[in-house]
Chain A
């Protein structure tokens, strides 16, 4: 699609600046090598894995390791590019000049300028690097495949390769000796390749392809132990739920393709992300089209990123091996939806009118999800499910942040969350490895002594997740809360609107998160051991990745200290935002919230409140009750749910997961598979096919009828009569001769006469 980019000579005014360039460092232009490495290792493992000494694992680790190194180098190249690149910028020629909404356009331009000055203090834009080749052509249009490298994709490359590498290493121990060890690594590689392709996608078609591919990897890995039906059920559920969302993606991408095409000269569509965003940002697309497209894409986000009400597959996905849960269902794939919003932010920003509003679809979905996830995390016995619901809740946080316009905060939260959540998942795997179960209530407890490393890293991860300073989660969560712009206590925090409701939701979630993590930590590591077998700490291939992730969980938050944070020099503030947030034609003009000390303090107090409440219940009351009972308890014998009807009701509702599973599996899927399909099939067999058969039968029957009743009627009648008459004579021959010939002759003469009569009348 490169032909409709006009690469301007200099800062020419022809066309709209896209904020992308085809120049830049070699590493940036050739970022496609990064996904290629694991893709090759996938093929290698698939075909030769079983014959290798380590059954293919070494190939996967090498490839992902190399990809990680390249990702780091790419990141370094990006730092340089972001600050020092002054190359040519691609411009976009637009179909007809009258399409320019003049006023709107100039407004945007003005805002844009202000905003760049305000935000980054650099005179030039951060040009993303785009490099494409033709993939295929249809309808005379070349569709391309390529890379769009900017801060967002570089950040994602780093996160994905790092966590993937750690998970690979971890897995060599965790799934060692598994029945399908080689296949496991093959799919890990394929997943890494797909996810990396997704994050560098230059266009929505490529994104869609990668999106589906990560979905199928997830399917394969959730169903890794497919001999057991629950696992394959979970895999199916994940895939199907994602398909529902993909439908939205298909439609959304299609709408964008043609809408963009309608304003471009000489082409009827474009998949290019940069072009789509730019056109949307410049007000060239109809609001309706953008709104519909954004709503459709939201469906995709809801399924992939586990947003309410398509989140139900994610907890079930925990049927897969734990490292997979860490990699795919916590740190990387599930954030693909969030990433997609961030990528196509121009579309969402305009389509959902995020600026200057106080509520919109995305923010609401995020807000509800975050509450639903957090509340459901409370009632889980399975440690992975606690983390799964927590993931849902945190993804809700990110979507909420994007919904209120806090782009950087959302992406930053994605970044920090990846580390601490991966850390927690791998930690839970380490625990489960020791006790061979994920059930906190029946098989865990008191494990802090036996598994010190796991315990410590888990605690670090939990604190980071709960959002206590100065660990990673605090900074990103706080940025989101500030970004809602709803903190009006001391005059608001700016931002894109007054999303007070979202702020409240975020606050409540913060408290709930702190509380359920406290519960989880208590049930797992405190009290007395309730399971069986001898506990032991996991080996180095498990522990080292845990510590690395824990390390990141501690420091990641420091990458984006708030602007105006008085305790550090200016050059340490907002580094993440500076390098990751695009300042370019393809990125919408968003307003940035002002960090607020008061908000930070209040939110911290709320988190502490949550921790305290849970601590009081578990560490004090339950612990005491356990001692009294002489065994390790998991809750109070007369807990609130047995005492108060309302609490019981709520518990029941949560226990049944708000009945959503029932709705989907029982009513929708069951209804389609059962009655609806049966009715359709019956219709097919009885109505359509029946009609066909009946037409056939009728033809045959009418043949019979004609034969019996017309062809032989006169004959038969005559035969019967003559038969009676001639029965004495007994001659077969006579009967036939006399009877039939007479009647035949009668027909002959009659027909001739009738025909003649008719024709004489007609003619």
Chain B
């Protein structure tokens, strides 16, 4: 071992610059923003958000060119891969990131906080996510995870004079560390058992030497999955979410609930599909439990929330359950691709509708100054468009056609229904019942906004900003388009992970 290490002279790995162009672009923009802040100080503030936005959009360019190119690129001996899956998920991250920048624009500016640093961190976190999409190695996954998490801890605690924000930041940080610890433990067992950090190697080891220490492998898988279950806030690892969501600045909440969650799922998918794909006996029941628990638990608890952000947090837990559900049957022969595309479809649609909902919440909170559901009563009287949009997003979350959410749910159901397995059907029925429960609180909010009297009969219109409106328009358009022509998302989500690295 020692001699080997010594004999290996450092060799610059061949880097496909095209493949890592998105990451580099993001990095460059991040640095630029930081530099600008240092040089121009306050004068640059009005432009930072725009710059960050442009940077994110610029990052999309190499992604598009890569997509057009269409070749799967493997870097670093398979530790870093750029394929359709990676590109698709990167696109999700970037678009979500752009919308979050739009949402943040005025929010952060008006709050008298460090604006430039905020965007710098946001971009850093985004970069972590973008990297996550390509990581097919335990180490790169872990690095990406930390890269996306650490800025997020800071962002959560952004309102530094607000105790709740601080509390949330600290809580999120501590919990994140615990989760990482658990995950690392699992990873170390994996490495110990298989002798490699590369997912594809782990996978082939697990196949070839299936007899060896099953318990250890199981333990490892559970711990790794648990770590990501924390990230995606699946029950029972969701406990941080409501407190953190409530305490964070709302754009950050949106960021956590969408982008960060998606990143967790991306990692989970890679692990399951590439790393554990022969271990369905372990991960299927595990995911089944997580999915069923998340849906049921999230929905039931969401029923009783009076604060809309907390409600969204719990609804996010429930949605996580839905997204996980296809993975509970992903090990069934012939269902792999379908399950994968169901998860990806769901993620894309979920991003659009959830961000939309947060956009409305942010807008309305500007007027009401509160996130209590009651304070949104009667919004239809003074902000009809916002209310209609909110109804749109809420019913989309509930899965009512022709809004995007229905197709996401539909894909989930269709994977479960085609499993031809009692457990699959059972999960489908649980999901069906849960979608009804979910509708209750979504519809309650919508109804309150439409039908009730505004508090104190205050009918002054809400002030909106162009960036909020554009964020809303983007989300609404995408939500509706995904619902009416699900083709759009369906086509792109139709990717595969299995052929890689094997």
Please determine whether A707 and B301 come into contact, CB atoms closer than 8 angstroms.
yes
Given that A736-B167, A745-B175, A763-B218 are known contacts, is A711 also in contact with B237, CB under 8 Å in the complex? no
A742 to chain B: closest CB distance in Å? 9
Out of A702, A733, A760, name the residue touching B219 (CB < 8 Å): A760
Query: Residue B281 at the A interface, CB < 8 A?
Result: yes
**Which residues of A lie under 8 Å from residue B289 when comparing CB positions?**
755
Please determine whether A700 and B222 come into contact, CB atoms closer than 8 angstroms.
no
B429 to chain A: closest CB distance in Å? 15
Please determine whether B237 and A748 come into contact, CB atoms closer than 8 angstroms.
yes
Please determine whether B226 and A759 come into contact, CB atoms closer than 8 angstroms.
no
> A736 CA to B167 CA in the complex, in Å?
7
**Which residues of B lie under 8 Å from residue A740 when comparing CB positions?**
171, 243
**Interface mask (B298-310 → A, CB under 8 Å = 1, otherwise 0):** 0111111000000
Q: 7 tightest A-B contacts by CB?
A: A703-B303, A756-B222, A703-B300, A752-B226, A744-B239, A751-B236, A707-B301
Query: Residue B240 at the A interface, CB < 8 A?
Result: yes
Please determine whether A749 and B182 come into contact, CB atoms closer than 8 angstroms.
yes
Query: Residue A747 at the B interface, CB < 8 A?
Result: yes
**Which residues of A lie under 8 Å from residue B286 when comparing CB positions?**
755, 759
**Interface mask (B266-298 → A, CB under 8 Å = 1, otherwise 0):** 000000000000000110011001000000010
Please determine whether A703 and B304 come into contact, CB atoms closer than 8 angstroms.
yes
> A745 CA to B240 CA in the complex, in Å?
9
Query: Residue A671 at the B interface, CB < 8 A?
Result: no
Interface residues of B in 142-176 (CB under 8 A from A): 163, 166-167, 170-171, 174-175
Add 7 more A-B contacts to A740-B243, A745-B175, A749-B182 (CB < 8 A).
A700-B304, A703-B304, A736-B167, A747-B236, A748-B178, A759-B282, A762-B285
Q: Write 5 A-B pairs (CB below 8 A) sorted by A numbering.
A: A706-B301, A741-B170, A747-B239, A749-B182, A759-B221
Name B172's closest neighbour in chain A (CB-CB).
A741
Chain B residues with a Cβ under 8 A of chain A? 163, 166-167, 170-171, 174-175, 178-179, 182, 214-215, 218-219, 221-223, 226, 230, 236-237, 239-240, 243, 281-282, 285-286, 289, 297, 299-304, 437, 440
Out of A702, A743, A755, A759, name the residue touching B300 (CB < 8 Å): A702
Please determine whether A760 and B243 come into contact, CB atoms closer than 8 angstroms.
no
Out of A703, A736, A752, name the residue touching B222 (CB < 8 Å): A752
**Which residues of B lie under 8 Å from residue A699 when comparing CB positions?**
300, 303, 437, 440
Given that A703-B303, A752-B226, A755-B226 are known contacts, is A711 also in contact with B239, CB under 8 Å in the complex? yes
Please determine whether A751 and B237 come into contact, CB atoms closer than 8 angstroms.
yes
**Which residues of A lie under 8 Å from residue B282 when comparing CB positions?**
759, 763
A240 to chain B: closest CB distance in Å? 42
Chain A residues with a Cβ under 8 A of chain B? 696, 699-700, 702-704, 706-707, 710-711, 715, 732-733, 736-737, 740-741, 743-745, 747-749, 751-752, 755-756, 759-760, 762-763
> A706 CA to B301 CA in the complex, in Å?
6
**Which residues of A lie under 8 Å from residue B239 when comparing CB positions?**
711, 715, 743-744, 747-748
Given that A707-B301, A748-B230, A755-B226 are known contacts, is A741 also in contact with B174, CB under 8 Å in the complex? yes
> A699 CA to B301 CA in the complex, in Å?
10
**Which residues of A lie under 8 Å from residue B440 when comparing CB positions?**
696, 699-700
Interface centre among A696, A740, A763 (most CB of B within 10 A): A763
Name B234's closest neighbour in chain A (CB-CB).
A751
* Chain B at the A interface: SS class: helix
Please determine whether A756 and B218 come into contact, CB atoms closer than 8 angstroms.
yes
> A754 CA to B259 CA in the complex, in Å?
29
> A756 CA to B218 CA in the complex, in Å?
7
Please determine whether A737 and B304 come into contact, CB atoms closer than 8 angstroms.
no
> A319 CA to B167 CA in the complex, in Å?
85
> A75 CA to B93 CA in the complex, in Å?
93
Name B173's closest neighbour in chain A (CB-CB).
A741
> A743 CA to B175 CA in the complex, in Å?
10
**Which residues of B lie under 8 Å from residue A749 when comparing CB positions?**
178, 182
B170 to chain A: closest CB distance in Å? 6
Please determine whether B178 and A745 come into contact, CB atoms closer than 8 angstroms.
yes
Out of B218, B237, B297, name the residue touching A706 (CB < 8 Å): B297
Out of B170, B179, B218, B230, name the residue touching A760 (CB < 8 Å): B218
Interface centre among B171, B219, B240, B301 (most CB of A within 10 A): B301
Name A714's closest neighbour in chain B (CB-CB).
B239
> A743 CA to B243 CA in the complex, in Å?
13
> A706 CA to B317 CA in the complex, in Å?
14
Given that A733-B163, A748-B239, A759-B282 are known contacts, is A703 also in contact with B301, CB under 8 Å in the complex? yes
> A711 CA to B302 CA in the complex, in Å?
11
A603 to chain B: closest CB distance in Å? 78
Interface centre among A732, A737, A752, A756 (most CB of B within 10 A): A752
Please determine whether B171 and A756 come into contact, CB atoms closer than 8 angstroms.
no
**Which residues of A lie under 8 Å from residue B240 when comparing CB positions?**
744
B230 to chain A: closest CB distance in Å? 7
Interface centre among B166, B297, B304 (most CB of A within 10 A): B304
**Which residues of B lie under 8 Å from residue A733 when comparing CB positions?**
163, 166-167
A685 to chain B: closest CB distance in Å? 21
> A741 CA to B176 CA in the complex, in Å?
11
**Which residues of B lie under 8 Å from residue A744 when comparing CB positions?**
171, 175, 239-240
> A760 CA to B214 CA in the complex, in Å?
8
**Which residues of A lie under 8 Å from residue B167 when comparing CB positions?**
733, 736-737
**Which residues of A lie under 8 Å from residue B230 when comparing CB positions?**
748
Please determine whether B175 and A748 come into contact, CB atoms closer than 8 angstroms.
yes
B151 to chain A: closest CB distance in Å? 20
Please determine whether B304 and A707 come into contact, CB atoms closer than 8 angstroms.
yes
**Which residues of B lie under 8 Å from residue A702 when comparing CB positions?**
300
Please determine whether A741 and B182 come into contact, CB atoms closer than 8 angstroms.
no
> A251 CA to B275 CA in the complex, in Å?
71
Name A715's closest neighbour in chain B (CB-CB).
B239
**Which residues of B lie under 8 Å from residue A756 when comparing CB positions?**
218-219, 222-223, 226
**Which residues of A lie under 8 Å from residue B281 when comparing CB positions?**
763
Please determine whether A711 and B301 come into contact, CB atoms closer than 8 angstroms.
yes
A723 to chain B: closest CB distance in Å? 15
> A762 CA to B237 CA in the complex, in Å?
21
Please determine whether A759 and B285 come into contact, CB atoms closer than 8 angstroms.
yes
**Which residues of A lie under 8 Å from residue B302 when comparing CB positions?**
703
**Which residues of B lie under 8 Å from residue A736 when comparing CB positions?**
167, 171, 243
**Which residues of B lie under 8 Å from residue A715 when comparing CB positions?**
239
Name B222's closest neighbour in chain A (CB-CB).
A756
**Which residues of A lie under 8 Å from residue B236 when comparing CB positions?**
747, 751
Given that A707-B304, A751-B226, A763-B282 are known contacts, is A741 also in contact with B171, CB under 8 Å in the complex? yes
> A322 CA to B301 CA in the complex, in Å?
73
Please determine whether B182 and A752 come into contact, CB atoms closer than 8 angstroms.
yes
Please determine whether B222 and A759 come into contact, CB atoms closer than 8 angstroms.
yes
> A752 CA to B226 CA in the complex, in Å?
6
> A743 CA to B214 CA in the complex, in Å?
31
**Which residues of A lie under 8 Å from residue B179 when comparing CB positions?**
748
> A744 CA to B237 CA in the complex, in Å?
8
**Which residues of B lie under 8 Å from residue A707 when comparing CB positions?**
300-301, 304
Please determine whether A700 and B303 come into contact, CB atoms closer than 8 angstroms.
yes
B247 to chain A: closest CB distance in Å? 9
A576 to chain B: closest CB distance in Å? 73
